[in-house]
Amino acid sequence: MKITLGVIKADIGSIGGHIKPSAAVMKAVRDYIESHGKKKIIDFFISHTGDDVAILMTHTGGVGDAEIHKMAWDAFVAGTDVAKSQGLYGAGQDLLKDAFSGNVKGMGPAVAEMEIEERPNEPFLFFAADKTEPGAYNLPLFLGFADPMYCPGLMLSPSMAEGFKFVIMDVDYTEGDRIIELNTPEDYYDITTLLRDNSRFVIESIWSRHNGDQAAAVSTSRLRNIAGKYTGKDDPVHLVRTQSAFPATGELLSPYAIGHYVAGTMRGSHNGPMMPCKQNTNISFFDGPAVVTCAAFCVHNGKFTEPADAFDHPFWDWSRDQISQKALEIRRQGFSGPAMLPYDDLEYGGIVEKMGKLDKLFTVRGD
Ligand code: F6R
Ligand code: MG
Ligand code: MG
């Protein structure tokens, strides 16, 4: 059966700052999808990661289906009304346009979708991250799909040894989708050359070279490019199919133990480690560290099983302790050097304004 597997997520307001949405907001979004999705949606699952609400769905409308996108947009509008009525902080924050216009891409919410021919058994992972940017997934996805140090399947499974196609987007280009397609293993170094720059080049999708099937879809929206100013970090989502001709679930999870440094955390303007957390984790210390959650499912005829929480295991408790130390270590140097983002990536205008004033006060000393 051909189905569309998609997730659309938005920050529409949260309790106590940027911590988590209220139960009433979650209920409003769920109720909206339940009552309006009957005809169009096969199944759905609502969750939150930090302050972001995600609607995971299956349907048969294909990628970018206008009705599905409108339904998700309207569900977020319904949630925003509740957020406003409760005085939540940043109510409607990610709904950057006044009226829906065909597709939520470019309007604020993050989207990751793929149309797939459902396998008889179809395991997949739904990742959601808060307080970071889409390029945060570059490293774990690259290691999971291209590096035998993390993914022994590339050596052990003949179908995986044929490699994967990476579609990478230049997210600084705002006139349209500027993409490049590169293949592993032969383009390995070209791929890493791009992926080192998480703020500009983002893995958008990954495809099996064995059977041409899509393995992964990642949200690529950069809110500041839509709004023209900082309105909260992008907080990306991605979907990835696992097992058989794709990497095993554990091969895809294991790179998250690195807790690699990503852009985001406080005021979207710092570097900090990304911490793999249990589902529905709140945000705390220094509006971060950035969190990533992973709900594992199987889907059959478009119907989801219940989720298995992939980061709910004693191994990840230990890992989170190590990553907390990484968070403290970089934090100890406050504003200095790599602790904060470079000038062009700062998400608030204060420093840029100050530099404008200070620049005029500089003098060039005579000999
Ligand atoms: C939330 C985020 C936060 C805020 C910070 C200040 O996604 O990035 O770190 O930037 O809490 O928020 P404002 O400027 O809304 O007071
Ligand atoms: Mg968020
Ligand atoms: Mg937010």
Backbone φ, ψ for residue 345 (5° rounding): -100, 0
Residue nearest to atom 13 of ligand 1 (CA): 267
Query: Is 156 inside a domain boundary?
Result: yes
Atom of ligand 1 nearest to the CA of 288: 9
Query: For residue 98, what pLDDT is reported?
Result: 85
Q: Which helix (H) or strand (E) holds 190?
A: helix 188-195
287 counts as catalytic: no
- Residue 99 belongs to domain spanning: 1-117
Ligand 3 centre distance from Cα of residue 133 (Å): 12
Q: Parallel, antiparallel, or unpaired for β 270-273 and 261-264?
A: antiparallel
Q: Which of 50, 55, 128 is nearest to 89 (CA)?
A: 50
Residue 99 lies inside a defined structural domain of this protein: yes
| pLDDT, position 223 | 81
Question: What's residue 225's pLDDT?
Answer: 80
User: From CA 110, how far away is CA 116, in angstroms rounded?
Assistant: 20
User: What single-letter DSSP state applies at residue 205?
Assistant: E
User: What is the mean pLDDT of each successive set of 10 residues along the chain, which is 367 residues long?
Assistant: 97 97 98 95 98 98 97 98 98 92 90 98 98 97 98 98 97 92 98 97 98 97 79 91 98 98 96 97 95 98 98 98 98 97 86 92 93
- Phi and psi at residue 252, in whole multiples of 5°? -80, -30
- Report which ligand 1 atom has the smallest distance to the Cα of 232: 7
Catalytic residue, from 70, 230, 309, 345: name it. Answer: 230
Domain count for the chain: 2
- Looking at the fold, whether 169 and 257 belong to one and the same domain comes out as yes
Residues 87 and 138 placed together within one structural domain of the fold: no
- Distances in Å between the Cα of 328 and the Cα atoms of 104, 277, 334 are 37, 17, 10
52 is catalytic: no
Closest Cα to residue 77, out of 109, 39, 40?
109
Instruction: Among 99, 117, 135, identify where a domain stops.
Output: 117
Integer Cα distance of 274 and 291 in angstroms: 6
Q: Which of 203, 213, 201 is nearest to 143 (CA)?
A: 203
Query: What separation in Å is there between the alpha carbon of 78 and the centre of ligand 2?
Result: 18
Instruction: Note whether residue 66 is domain-resident.
Output: yes
**271 and 319 assigned to the same domain:** yes
Question: Cα(334)–Cα(345) distance, rounded to whole angstroms?
Answer: 17
Question: Distance, CA 178 to ligand 3 centroid (Å)?
Answer: 27
Q: Is 11 a catalytic residue?
A: yes
Residue identifier of the C-alpha nearest atom 8 of ligand 1: 267
Quick one: 82 and 145 in the same domain?
Answer: no
Say if residues 141 and 218 touch (Cβ distance below 8 Å). Answer: yes
pLDDT at 13: 98
**Can you tell me which atom of ligand 1 is nearest the CA of 265?**
9
Query: Residue 228 has what pLDDT?
Result: 78
- 165 and 256 share a domain? yes
Which of 9, 11, 131, 261 is catalytic? The answer is 11
Classify residue 363: in a domain, yes or no. no
CATH of residue 35's domain is 3.30.70
DSSP letters along 89-116, please? BTTTTT--SSS--S-STTSS-EEEEEEE
- Measured from CB, residues less than 6 Å from any atom of ligand 1 are 17-18, 131, 232-233, 266-268, 287
CA distance 1 to 139: 32
The pLDDT of residue 136 is 98
Number of alpha helices (DSSP H) and beta strands (DSSP E) in the chain: 10, 16
The C-alpha R_g of the chain, in whole angstroms, comes to: 20
